[in-house]
Chains A and B, each alone.
Chain A
Amino acid sequence: MTYNILIAGVGGQGTLLASKLMGVVFMNKGYDLKVSEVHGMSQRGGSVVTYVRFGDKVASTVIEKGEADMVLSFELLESARWLPYLKKDGVLISNTQKINPMPVIAGQAQYPEDIAEKLRATGVRLHTVDALSLAEKAGSAKSVNVVLLGVAAKYLGMEREAWENAIRSTVPPKTVEINLAAFNAGYTL
C-alpha cells in the first residue's frame, strides 16, 4: 500500500522544506518513497503543490484526483483548489491563513467567503489550524510550514523523535530551535 500526501500552498511559504522533512523521516523508517516538487516559474507566488508518496514500492511521482490520503494545505483558498485530490475518506489539514491571489488583488475576482464552512459541508474530514499565529508564537512567522508539519505528523503516527531528528539534520543550525518549537506547537495541538 502507498500513503499519499499532497502539500499545497503559495510559492514562498516553504512547502518544499515540509516535503523534504517528510521524505527524510519516511526514508529513515525504511519505506520506498517519491517526493515530487515544483521549481522555477511556479514558485513565484503561484499555487504550488508537492506530492509525497511512501510505501513498500512507489512507482508514480504524482498524486491524482481522489488519491491523496492527506492534503496538507498552507492556505485556505488552496484547500478549496486541491480538495478534489483527496480520497473520499482522506483528511484535509488546512491553515486558516488567507493570501490574496493576483486576480483578487487586481479586482478581477473575489476571494471566496466562508471557505472552511463550505469545505466542511462537502462532508470532508477537515482539521483547521491557525498556523500563522502558532508560528509567530514559536518565534518566526516563516515557520508556518513546520507548525503544519507538526499537525500532519500527529496523523502519520511515527514517533516524535523521528521528526525532531529530521529537523535537526535538515534545517540550518541557526534555525533548529525555532523549528523545533514550531513543530512542537503543531504536534501538541
Chain B
Amino acid sequence: MKELMLGNQAVARGLYESGVRVVSSYPGTPSTEITEYISKYPDVYSEWAPNEKVACEVAFGAALGGARSFCGMKHVGLNVAADPVYTASYIGVNAGMVIGVADDPGMHSSQNEQDSRHHAIASKVPMLEPCDSAECKEYAMLAYEISEKYDTPVMLRLSTRISHSRSPVETGERVAAPEKPYVKNVGKNVMMPAMAKARHVFVEQRTAQLREYAETSGINRIIKGGKIGIIAAGTTFNYAYEALGDKASYLKLGMVNPLPVELIKQFAAGVERLIVCEELDDIIETHCLKHGIKCEGKALFSFCGEYSQSIIRKAVLDEENEYRTFPEQFPARPPVLCPGCPHRGLFYALKGLDVYVSGDIGCYTLAAQKPLDSLDSCLCMGGSVSGLHGFNTARGAEQAKRSVAVIGDSTFIHSGITGIIDIAYNKGLSTVIVLDNSITGMTGHQNNPANGFTIHGDPTVAVDLEALARAVGFSSVRVTDPYDVETTRKVIAEELQKEEPSLVIARRPCALLKTAVRKKPLVIKENCVGCRSCLKVGCPAISVENKRAVIDKNQCIGCGICAFACRVGAIGEDE
C-alpha cells in the first residue's frame, strides 16, 4: 500500500518491517517522531530513556541479547551517546543495531549546526543517508542487513528536511527477525585493553570491507547526464537535482561512511567539472582531495546553513530567479512562550531579583528574548547547573546570592542531576530552579521519568525531585507555583540568601497540556492608564492599542501573570 509518510514515520515503518523489537530514545527535534511512530506498533517494545547515552546502551544491550534494536536522537544527542557508540563499534552486534541521528542544518530548533558524519568517521561506524521517505524506509531496513553482516552498529543520518517532509512510501509486511541466541564471548563483548586491541584490528578490517561495499553494492549510484558532475547525498542531492536536472551527472551517495574511492574516480573521469555539494562540513570534498581527485566544493558553497536549489543554481550556473518584494521594512516574528506558559511567571519573578541566570535547553530558552530578556547563558543539556557552579566558583560566595540556574524537568533528568551532585559534593552554594511543567515540551509533549507516565501514557513511578535533591545533599528544597509570581519571587530571594545550595521547583503543568487549568480570559478594566507595564511579561495575548491594553480572548487562558505586572490593578476577571 502507498502512503504519504513523514521521513521519520517512514524510518519507523522500516524498523517495524525489519522486525525491530527494542527501541529506546530521547526526544530531540528533528528526530522525535521516529520513536513516537514506533510506539504505536504494539509488537515493538519502545521507551523514552532519560538521555541518549542510556538509550544507546539499552539498544546495545538489546542487540547483544538477540533482538534487533534502535535508538534515535538529534545531532547533539549523539555527543551524549558518543561514549557507548565508540566502543559498541569495537564489540559489534549480535542482532542488528541501528542508531538514527538527525542533523539540523539551518538550526530550525537547535543550539549548533554540527555535522554528525564526523562521529561516524571517528567511531568507524557505517552511516547511511536517505534522500526521501521511501529511502528512509529502505535504508532503515538495509541498515539491519549491514549491521548483522558486518558485525557493527549502523548509523542512519537524517536531516530536518528529510525527517520532516512527507513523500509517498510503499509499505510492506513485518518480517519476524530471528531471535539470536546469546553466547558468552568475553573476547568480543568485554572491552578491556587486551581484548580491545584485537577488536580494533577487526574494526579496521571491517572498514575496508565496508568500503568495498560502498564501491560495488549500488547504494552509491551514478546517474548519467550532462558534463557537470555532482557528488551529493540526502537532501542536498535533491536540491542539486532540482537545480541542474539533466545538465549534470550525479554520483548519488546513499552511504556516507565509509566513502568509496574507485567509484568517485570513475565518476570524475566521465565529467568535465566535478562539484561536491554537501551541507555543513567538507567531508566528501576532503576525502576526494585526500585521494587526489580534483573537485570544487566549499569554494562554491558555505559551511553554514541549509542549501537549496537556488543556492546551487546560483553557485554552479550563476542563474537567479526574479521575484517581488514588499516595499518597506517589517517586524520579524520570532517564536515566543505560549499564552499561559508557566515559565513566564518564573522569569517575571526573576526579573525583579536582578540575578545572573544560567540557562538550559528547552522552551524556556525563549525567555532570552525581549521583553523577558532573562537568560545570561545557554550551553547544552544540563549545562545550566554545572555551568552555574563554575561561574559562582570563579566569582566568589557573594555571586551565589545573585545567580540561579534554570532547567526544565526533562532536561534535569537528562543531565542536570550530575550537576547538582557536583554542587552539593563540592560544598557549592548555588541556587538551582527546576521548571517542572510535567512534560518534555519543546519537542512536542513527550512523557518523561519525572511525570509518572510511560511513552504509551501508562502510569509508572515518577522521579521524586524533592527527595532526589535531598538525597544528593541539598537540604533546602522548596516548591512554588510560578503563576503566583509574588510568592515565587519571595521563595527564590530567601533561597539565594542561604549559606547552602538550594533547589527550587517551580511546578505547574505546560499550558498546552489537557490537564492544564484554563480559566476564563481576563479583561482590561476602565482604570487602565496605558502604561505598558503588562507588556513586560511578553505574552502574545496582550498588546496595547490606542493607549489601552487589549487582551485577545482567543489566546488568553487567564493565568494572571499580566495582572500581577499591572501597576493599577486594571486586569482582572470579567464580572
Do these two chains interact?
A: yes
- On A, residues with C-beta under 8 Å from B are 10-12, 20, 23-24, 27, 32-47, 58-62, 64-67, 77-78, 80-81, 83-88, 99-112, 115, 118-119, 121-124, 141
Known: A34-B166, A44-B337, A102-B538. 6 other contacts (CB 8 A): A33-B166, A37-B164, A59-B239, A87-B323, A122-B326, A122-B327
**In the complex, chain A residues whose CB is within 8 Å of the CB of B417:** none
Nearest CB of chain A from residue B344's CB, rounded to whole Å: 12
B522-572 contacts to A (CB < 8 Å): 532, 535, 538-540, 542-544, 554
Q: Knowing A34-B166, A83-B324, say if A107 contacts B535 (CB, 8 Å).
A: yes
A interface footprint on B142-186 (CB within 8 Å = 1, 0 otherwise): 000000000000000000011011111000000000000000000
Q: CB-nearest residue of chain B relative to A111? A: B331
- Per DSSP, chain B at the interface is loop
Query: CB distance A64 to B309 under 8 Å?
Result: yes
A87 to B162, CA, bound (A): 25
Closest B-chain residue to A88, C-beta based? Answer: B322
Chain A residues with CB under 8 Å of B322's CB are 66, 88
Q: Are A60 and B335 in contact (CB under 8 A)?
A: no
Chain A contacts for B444, CB-based, 8 A? 39-40
> What 3 A-B pairs are tightest by C-beta distance, nearest first?
A66-B321, A40-B109, A40-B29
Please name all residues of chain B whose beta carbon is closer than 8 Å to the beta carbon of A38 when the two chains form the complex.
Answer: 108, 164
**Do residues B326 and A83 form an inter-chain contact, with CB atoms below 8 A?**
yes
The winner among A24, A58, A65, A78 for most chain B CB atoms within 10 A is A65
A-B contact count (CB 8 A): 193
CB proximity of B309 to chain A, nearest CB, Å: 5
Q: Which of B90-98, B363-371, B405-413, B427-435 contacts A (4 or more CB under 8 A)?
A: B363-371
Give chain A nearest CB distance to B295 CB in angstroms: 22
Task: Identify the closest chain A residue to B545 (Cβ).
Answer: A100
Q: Tally B residues with Cβ within 8 Å of A.
A: 60
User: Per-residue CB proximity of B273-289 to A under 8 Å, as 1/0?
Assistant: 00000000000000000
Indicate if the CB atoms of B540 and A45 lie closer than 8 Å: yes
Once the chains are docked, how many angstroms separate the CA of A164 from the CA of B90?
Answer: 55
Interchain CB contact under 8 A, A123 and B2: no
Chain B residues near A (Cβ < 8 Å): 2, 4, 6, 29-30, 32-33, 108-109, 132, 161-162, 164-168, 235, 238-239, 241-242, 306, 308-310, 321-328, 330-338, 363, 366, 369-371, 442-444, 532, 535, 538-540, 542-544, 554
Residues of B within 8 A of A24 (CB): 4
Are B327 and A64 closer than 8 Å at their CB atoms? Answer: no
Residues A110 and B331 in contact in the complex (CB < 8 Å), given A27-B2, A34-B166, A39-B109 = yes
Chain B residues whose C-beta falls within 8 Å of the C-beta of A64 in the assembled complex = 308-310, 321
Q: Nearest chain B CB to A115's CB is how many angstroms away?
A: 8
Q: Are A77 and B164 in contact (CB under 8 A)?
A: no
Contact A84-B324, Cβ < 8 Å, known A41-B335, A110-B331: yes
Contact A112 B323 (CB under 8 A): no
* A118 & B325 in contact (Cβ 8 Å cutoff): no
How many Å from the CB of B248 to the closest CB on chain A?
Answer: 12
Given A43-B335, A101-B332, does the pair A80, B29 have CB atoms closer than 8 Å? no
Q: B165 to A42, Cβ gap below 8 A? A: no
Please indicate the chain B residues that have their CB under 8 angstroms from the CB of A40 in the complex.
29-30, 108-109, 442-444
A3–chain B nearest beta-carbon distance, Å: 14
Instruction: Say yes or no: A80-B333 contact (C-beta < 8 A), given A34-B167, A36-B164, A45-B540.
Output: no
